[in-house]
Amino acid sequence: MEKPESRSRIPDIARLAGVSTATVDRVLNGRGHVRGATAQRVLKAAAELQYLPEEDLWKSMRPPPMEIVFLIPAGTNRYLHMLADTIGYATDALLPFNVHCRVNTIDSFDPDGVAAALRHHGQRVQGLAFMALEHPKVRDAVDALVERGVHVITLISDVSNSRRAAYVGMDNRAAGRTAGMLMGRFIGPRSGPVAMIAASRHYRGHEDRELGFLHLIQEQFPALQLVGVREGRDDADTNHRLALSLLRQYPNLVGLYNIGGGAEGVGRALKACRTEQPVVVIAHGLTPDTRALLIDGTLDAVINQHPQTMILNCARIFSNLRDGRNATSGVEPMRISIVLRENLP
């Protein structure tokens, strides 16, 4: 037999809790401006009078969600587009963390612009995550936000000596060494020049990948000649021009490491300049473009970090910080995933 529907009303709750009906209305509708102890009395009274279903009562007892903004670099980097899309799709997965996330794009290569964006968006949120540019102005902006009580996380690329709460992303030095090992093994006994294209050395993450790659090649494969790094700002068309220039300058090129985004531009250049010997190409970020390049054999390997894991790690860290726990409690370090044509997900 079903229980009879409760006939309790807001005045009944107000009498039982010893407060005004206006206070009851504010508590049950989440309008705030009510002391915590008073709100608990109201909710306890509502529960005793069976005024709300258990699920609605639980929602009323939850604090407002933590407001978080992700500042994602603008441009043509398909992996970063996927990361931004993942934030939008992850609403259900983020519910347990009681956070509300939104995304804004910024010009990530302009330190003044990045610092201004940090200050601007930091006024409206409790947490902020962004792909950091290594620059004193950016570091100072981060520290100023932290001083005001805003929790800051760096994403994919860190900024040194700042007061940010945590870094979420792969170990970029290890990723560069991994790329170097793959490059040397795939090239095999051949010798010749190996080139690199990065977005910008002002990304600490890209600088770390470059150094890891350089050191591994020098240690393990001394027959390979490193010809320096070009900066393509993660733009596919710029990377296309840089790769064409490298292929013409070094007709015996045996390897190319694309440290950042824009691998599709590199792929177009390789298809346009068919060389006598194969060029081993290692890239970052599994996207529809790099997937297609793996399938047709233009890319040999992609080093990947899963966008979904990154966003969930950020949400958990922000939740930890809000609740006074250690920032990385329960957070798994980002794993480096090596994707080949034969193991495409």
Q: At what angle do helices 111-122 and 136-147 cross, to 10 degrees?
A: 10
Structural domain span for residue 180: 172-304
- 317 close to 155: Cβ distance less than 8 angstroms: no
Strand partners, 339: 302
SS3 content of the chain, % helix, strand, coil (to 5): 50, 15, 35
Find where tokens 């610092």 sit: 115
Helix (H) or strand (E) holding 292: helix 288-295
Q: Tell me the whole-structure pTM to 2 decimals.
A: 0.83
pLDDT digits over 281-324, tens only?
999 999 999 999 999 999 999 999 999 999 999 999 999 999 89
Query: What does the DSSP 8-state code read for residue 335?
Result: P
Q: Which two tokens stand for residue 241?
A: 């021009």
Task: Tell whether 125 and 232 lie within a shared domain.
Answer: no
Residues 29 and 100 occupy one common structural domain = no
**Residue after which a domain boundary falls, among 19, 46, 61:** 61
Both 116 and 26 in one domain: the answer is no
Contact call for residues 330 and 320 (beta carbons, < 8 A): yes
Q: 58 falls in which pLDDT band (50, 70, 90)?
A: low
pLDDT of 57: 58
Query: How many CA atoms within 13 Å lie on the side-chain side of 114?
Result: 26
Share the mean pLDDT of the chain.
91
Q: Average pLDDT of 35-53? A: 77
**Is 212 within 8 Å of 172 (Cβ atoms)?**
yes
225 within some domain: yes
Let me know if residue 1 belongs to a domain. Answer: no
Judged against a pLDDT cut of 50, whether residue 3 lies above it is answered with no
Residue 4 pLDDT > 50: no
Is there a single domain that holds both residue 193 and residue 239? yes
Element (H or E) spanning 110, and its range? none
Q: Looking at the structure, do residues 165 and 314 belong to the same domain, yes or no?
A: yes
In a domain, 2, yes or no: no
Q: Are residues 274 and 326 in the same domain?
A: no
Residues 291 and 317 in one domain: no
> End of a domain among 19, 41, 61?
61
Only one residue has tokens 């990377």, namely: 239
What is the CB neighbour count within 10 angstroms for residue 236?
A: 20
Number of domains in the chain: 3
Residue range 73-98: average pLDDT?
91
Q: Tens of pLDDT along 321-339?
A: 998 999 999 998 999 999 9
Asked if residue 326 belongs to a domain, the reply is yes
Write down the pLDDT at residue 274: 75
Give me the CATH number covering residue 120: 3.40.50.2300
Sign of CA dihedral 314, 318, 323, 329: positive
Can you give the CATH number for the domain in which 32 is found? 1.10.260
**Rg of the chain on CA atoms, in Å:** 26
| Strand 301-304 to 337-339 pairing | antiparallel
340 domain-assigned: no
